Amino acid sequence: MNERALQQFQNILGKEHVKNSTAQLLAYSYDATANFQRMPEVVLSPESAQQIIEILHVCNTFNIPIIPRGSGTNLAAGTVPYAGGAVLLFNRMNRVIEFDQENLTITVQPGMISEDLCKFVESHGLFYPPDPSSMKISTIGGNVSENSGGLRGLKYGVTKDYVKGLQVVLANGQLLKTGGKLAKDVAGYDLTSLLVGAEGTLGIITEITLKLIPLPTKKMTSVAYFHSLEDAARTVSQIIASKIIPVTLEFLDQKTIVAVEQFMKIGLPTDVEAMLVFEQDGDETIVMKDINEMTRIAKENGAFITQLAKDEIEAEKIKTARRVALSALSKLRPTTILEDATVPRSALAEMVRRINKIAERNNVNIATFGHAGDGNLHPTCLTDVRDHEEMERVEQAFAEIFEAALDLGGTITGEHGIGEMKAPYLEWKVGESGIQLMKGIKAVFDPNNIINPGKIFAKETKKRVMLHV
């Protein structure tokens, strides 16, 4: 790292908030993505937007890449340094700025832990629905940058549906405010939407205003097992067609069920092709009606066991299978790669079948679970990074899975983002014109390409594979 730049960072932040020991650099050289790691040159912990503005001036002067990072839970290598540079932390920017119960909004700093935010508003009878599985540790800033989804996405939508306004430091050091508390606001381009899910490549988010809704009073959970994938998929389609939008509708395939049962011994039937866990929340009478109706639809479509949870303890038991799915699978092989292909609901069964065929053809072990209600599947590959030959087959299999998802009208990522990991596949989804337009937008926001460079856009696009399914 340039000595003068380092000195300037220290002047801005004070020495103790500029970290560059070997251990510190190493500890910020990775995120939750398997097989991605690169060392930054310095780690910075600002406490205000003003300090971030000053940091960006230094970065521009010395051409230092800057990588904003929440808790590093993302699964697409979005926060792994691409070419050294400064990792920017938000651990000192984690406060509530304003809680406005009249307008039902909350304005927070990006470093706040998502679960802390949820608990805070819930203690006041309000609800912030997006619930990524990592919410215990992920930051709200990270959620906004990745446009994170979650288990409640089907009914309540994802992070972008709740972001009303942002304060952002742009690459040139200017402070930008977008949106606000208004329910209606059509003044110019919707920059808020552009910045949500931009994966920290367009600006540094320093304040977030979120929409809140009333907290539902009642929640009920049920489970159904199926001998055929098609039956499960038909159940999902029919539930929605019956004008029921459950809060959660989760899917586990046979491999996942077997792994969970081996791991937890909770008495799951292992000879089934699929299980669905569904949950409804809201007003008590409506919840009852919906959950009974969903159980009826499941039975009508071939579910041979259904079970309604009597109370919260039983509901927890039912949800255990879905919650421990990843843990149970991760026990089977040294390396676990969780992917994120999404298809229209109607193509759910077809997609799972294709995933299984692709795994078989490439001789790799892939189990699938995910959010059936929104078609967001998590094919999870169990492998060993030390086996390079196998890793090549894994990569090939995933390329084929992305191809299959697109072929069925889906996408290459439903909630994890592109990051560095999926950059070579983005063009498959958005086309050449899409890439050119996105690159143009990036260049306007960040002409020197210093904000999280190397993400979203790959040097080259992977060749599309020819599928024989």
Residues in contact with other proteins, shown as a per-residue x/- string from 315 to 334 under the rule CB under 8 A: ---------x-xx--xx--x
Token readout for 105 is: 């909004």
CB 186, min distance to other proteins, A? 39
Residues 358, 368 contacting (CB under 8 angstroms): no
CB 221, min distance to other proteins, A? 21
**Could you say which of 9, 28, 156, 457 contacts other proteins (CB under 8 A)?**
28
Decide: is 92 part of the binding site for other proteins (CB under 8 A): yes
Residues in contact with other proteins, shown as a per-residue x/- string from 32 to 51 under the rule CB under 8 A: xxx--x-x-----x------
Bridge partners for 321 per DSSP: none
CB 119, min distance to other proteins, A? 12
Residues in contact with other proteins, shown as a per-residue x/- string from 96 to 125 under the rule CB under 8 A: -----------------x------------
d(CA 378, CA 264): 20
CB-based burial label for 405 (10 Å; 0-12, 13-18, 19+): buried
Residues in contact with other proteins, shown as a per-residue x/- string from 132 to 151 under the rule CB under 8 A: --x-xxx-------------
**Could you say which of 9, 30, 225, 428 contacts other proteins (CB under 8 A)?**
30
Token readout for 193 is: 């939407």
Decide: is 129 part of the binding site for other proteins (CB under 8 A): no
CB-based burial label for 406 (10 Å; 0-12, 13-18, 19+): middle
Decide: is 10 part of the binding site for other proteins (CB under 8 A): no
**Could you say which of 3, 15, 21, 188 contacts other proteins (CB under 8 A)?**
21
CB atoms within 10 A of CB 375: 25
Decide: is 27 part of the binding site for other proteins (CB under 8 A): yes
Decide: is 26 part of the binding site for other proteins (CB under 8 A): yes
103 vs 336, beta carbon nearer other proteins:
336
CB 413, min distance to other proteins, A? 18
Decide: is 335 part of the binding site for other proteins (CB under 8 A): yes
Cα–Cα distances in angstroms (integers) from residue 124 to residues 110, 117, 141, 253, in the given order = 21, 11, 22, 38
Decide: is 200 part of the binding site for other proteins (CB under 8 A): no
d(CA 172, CA 241): 49
Amino acid of residue 368: T
402 SS3 class: helix
Kindly determine how many residues on this chain lie close enough to bind other proteins according to the rule CB under 8 A: 39
CB 196, min distance to other proteins, A? 22
**Could you say which of 23, 183, 186, 187 contacts other proteins (CB under 8 A)?**
23
Amino acid of residue 147: N
| Cβ partners under 8 Å of residue 265, min gap 6 | none
351 SS3 class: helix
Residues 58, 5 contacting (CB under 8 angstroms): yes
Within 13 Å and on the Cβ side, how many CA atoms surround 288?
A: 4
The residue among 306, 150, 317 whose CA lies nearest residue 231 is: 306
d(CA 13, CA 8): 9
Residues 149, 158 contacting (CB under 8 angstroms): yes
Decide: is 269 part of the binding site for other proteins (CB under 8 A): no
CB 161, min distance to other proteins, A? 25
Q: Give the binding site for other proteins (CB under 8 A).
A: 19, 21-24, 26-34, 37, 39, 45, 71-73, 89, 91-92, 113, 134, 136-138, 324, 326-327, 330-331, 334-336, 384-386
